[in-house]
Amino acid sequence: MLRYLIRRLVALVPTFLLASVIVFSAIRLIPGNTIDMMMSQNDISASVQTREDLIKALGLDQPVLVQYWHWISSIVFHGDFGRSLWTGDSVTRLVAERMPITLYLGVLAMIFALLIALPVGIISAIRQNKPVDYLGRVFAITALSVPPFWLGTLVVVVPAILWGIAPTTQYVGLTDDPLLSLRQMVPPAIVLGIALSGVTMRMTRTMVLEVMRQDYVRTAWSKGLDERTVVLRHVLKNALLPVITIVGLQLPLLIGGAVVIEQIFVISGMGQLLLMAVSQRDYPVITGIFLLVGVGVMTINLLVDISYALLDPKIRQG
């Protein structure tokens, strides 16, 4: 197991470097110019000398490879993601302030998604081609089809129109008022959870159906075991392994959904910070967020691989 873990950790190094190159390069392709935007926003005289001074102060006059080396070496050796071009604040501090909020929303959304997707997917597979199966598949297709921003807008607008209930206009921290914070987080978590549940439900149904066709499950049925025993002891143990992978790979979707959902429900998380940084062409903040998301995805994949290896000895021996 230790050898398998070391191999997986070593494989993360080139993956991380490739992700950093892609993030660093892609950000430079965003339309617009940071210097022009800063000069217009701050009413700075658009002289050639002023422009050159800004470019030099921000280090944008250096070759791209030199900029990349300074950026990635600061991250790897010092844990420093740079400073915001607009506020001068440390990107690490900005992300550290917002990350717990988005993680809080993401955990609630994932819990809600699993509470819906797993039971619906299992029941839909066990009752294949029955009314409950059709209802489950309709729910999955609907969850995949309805955009989170549209559903989130309905959740905000409809109660305000029908009952005069408006959402909180200021985010309340978990440490400030836990109950009020939870109440504020439940609606966006449900909206985001519904978006995540569609894929998980379909994967759960597919894998349960596949496992139920295996010979050892048929043998269990032929021995006269009741349905609950067969499903819990023989089917779910093997059917839910691929579902773990799907849940882990939905992290980018979670972050992408959070960008819009946090704006709709006025939540001061990573999504709101990213949207602000993109609108201002704040490259250090954008690259820091995307690289951290990439590291998060790689970490989740590593944990998924480790869980697979623990459950299936053939994987870690391969």
pLDDT tens-digit map of 219-261: 888 888 888 888 888 888 788 777 877 777 777 777 777 778 8
Number of residues assigned to the chain: 318
57 Cβ contact list (under 8 Å, min separation 6): none
Residue 33 reports pLDDT greater than 90: no
Instruction: Name the pTM for this structure.
Output: 0.79
Burial of 227 (0-12, 13-18, 19+ CB in 10 A): exposed
Per residue in 139-149, pLDDT (tens digit) is 999 998 888 88
Longest CA–CA span in the chain (Å) reads: 86
Residue 50 reports pLDDT greater than 80: no
pLDDT at 141: 92
Highest CATH level, class, for 91-317: mainly alpha
pLDDT at 37: 65
pLDDT at 137: 92
CA–CA distance, 77 with 235 (Å, rounded to integer): 47
Per residue in 275-286, pLDDT (tens digit) is 888 887 888 888
Enter the tokens of residue 63: 């070759």
Enter the tokens of residue 20: 């950093």
Asked if 241 contacts 312 with a C-beta cutoff of 8 angstroms, the reply is yes
Residue 213 reports pLDDT greater than 80: yes
What mean pLDDT comes out for the span 59-79? Answer: 84
Q: List where CATH 1.10.3720.10 sits in the chain.
A: 91-317
pLDDT at 138: 93
Helix and strand element counts for the chain (H, E): 16, 0
CA–CA distance, 110 with 314 (Å, rounded to integer): 29
Asked if 287 contacts 70 with a C-beta cutoff of 8 angstroms, the reply is no
pLDDT at 41: 58
pLDDT at 201: 92
pLDDT at 242: 78
